[in-house]
Structure 1
Amino acid sequence: MNPEKNQHQDRLLVSYILCGVGFFGLGGLHRLYNGKIGTGLLWLCTFGLFYIGQAVDLLLVPSMVDEYEANLRLKAGVSPFGVPLNEPTAIATQVHSPTGNQLMIKLIEVAENRGGSLTVTQGVKGTGASFAEVEKALKEMYKSGYVKIDNDPITGAVTYHFHEL
């Protein structure tokens, strides 16, 4: 048996038990359990509409359970057949990434905040651009003579020093 069928059977069993409890003075609990708040409170206050409504509900419990489960599926965005109703919409994962001179200016600002030196990873974190874009921009700045390349003595990471900052 699949889990959905088990859950349906469990909800049906609990609903019948709560309906049976209604004959002992707590009518309407099965309706509250299946999301019918208004009539559940009415049944609770009137002893299941003087036990007549409680007796009729013994026949209506399966349809109440089916209706409640259908409402749950709709709230979850799933059709009665288990197919998603709405396709998920794609969300932009990358915000405007600076290019060209904008990227170089952003890298200079990040380096200035870090004491004049910077690694590729720090540049990526500070600008939001990709590793390849940051590395390309830093190498271009190296070729132009704006930065000096060195290795960090502790980590060994390639560090770009902006000697004019």
Structure 2
Amino acid sequence: MKTNASQIGMNKAGTAYILWLGCLLQLHGLHRLYNGKILTGLLWMFSFGLFGFGQVIDLLLIPNMVDEHNTKLRARQGWLPDGSLPTQPVIQRVVTVDAKPVPPQPMPNSLVVKLLKAAEARGGNLSVTQGVMETGASFAEVEATLLQMVRTGYVEITNDPKTGVVTYEFKEL
């Protein structure tokens, strides 16, 4: 019998119902623990399945619990919600020691150059507010430009250890 790879390790509603029957042995909440609902599973255990009411209501909720658990498991494993593999290949950026990406050359008066000069004057670190003060551009323009520079790999986002302010660190400066 051929097993679908998306079904390996997936929870089954039948197993959850059998664990639900643990309430007959005063083991309430086993079905919730099985489906990854740890806190409510422990609550069910110590409150006798919410005094029996929660245990009975769970008879209707078990299929949804199993589906929710399996969907989360598939997402963690990189599967699509329907249990199939993604069809598009994963693209990874490979950077070698000798090769450096070549950025588009900015215009001499562009916002990028102004931000680079402002960061250089501050030891390679710049906040959005400092960028606005140095360039006269809006907060949105400065932040968008800095985030674009982060995406290209020339800038990293950090936090100032003393103030907690988000700063952009220019590694090459």
Normalised to the residue count of structure 2, the TM-score between the two structures is 0.47
Q: Look at both structures and tell me which one has the larger radius of gyration over its CA atoms.
A: 1
